[in-house]
């Protein structure tokens, strides 16, 4: 794999598009509602804060990703971001009907990679394979045992 292709970030397509559109709609409708309806100042502030929080959640969902580089993988999920060295990743799993890729880690833990989502269909399968290939390439040893 060429380096610029193999180390390209993993990002969902369908969820990203849907949540970006939804976030913009929520902000627009919130602004219109606050401006038009006869709310008290406290109600306007409260309604505005709820709209901003919903839009922030949509933005955060739209920005989930897994970014590989020569040293490891940075996984940005909905709430947390985690940096992994390649040696920490034991297995890439994308089976069993789960919504996104799961990484089995050397410490026995698992980590979801929301940047590769089943909703993207065949693209998600190709991206899961690309991630598994990156793990294999970066963790290969001379004897590979």
- CA separation for the pair 90, 106 (Å, rounded): 6
pLDDT one digit per residue (tens) for the chain, 145 residues = 445 447 999 999 999 999 999 999 999 999 999 999 999 999 999 999 999 999 999 999 999 999 999 999 999 999 999 999 999 999 999 988 889 999 999 999 999 999 999 999 999 999 999 999 999 999 887 775 5
User: Which DSSP state fits 9?
Assistant: P
- CA separation for the pair 131, 125 (Å, rounded): 10
pTM: 0.85
Positive or negative, the CA dihedral 118, 120, 122, 125 is negative
- CA separation for the pair 130, 6 (Å, rounded): 7
**Residue 82 in contact with residue 66, Cβ under 8 Å?**
no
**Residue 100 backbone class (left: φ over 0; alpha: ψ -120 to 50; beta: rest):** beta
What CATH architecture applies to the domain 65-139? Roll (2.30)
Domain residue limits, the chain: 14-62, 65-139
């Amino acid at each position: 794999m060429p380096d610029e292709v193999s180390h390209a970030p993993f990002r969902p397509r369908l969820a990203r598009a849907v949540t970006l559109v939804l976030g913009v709609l929520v902000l627009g409708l919130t602004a219109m509602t606050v401006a038009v309806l006869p709310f008290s100042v406290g109600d306007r502030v409260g309604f505005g804060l709820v709209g901003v929080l919903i839009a922030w959640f949509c933005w955060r969902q739209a920005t989930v990703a897994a970014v590989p580089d020569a040293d490891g993988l940075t996984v940005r999920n909905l709430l947390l971001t985690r940096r992994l060295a390649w040696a920490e990743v034991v297995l890439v799993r994308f089976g069993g009907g789960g919504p996104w890729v799961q990484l089995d880690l050397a410490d026995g833990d698992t980590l979801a990679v929301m940047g590769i989502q089943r909703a993207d269909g065949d693209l998600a399968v190709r991206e899961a394979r690309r991630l598994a290939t990156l793990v294999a390439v970066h963790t290969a040893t001379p004897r590979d045992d």
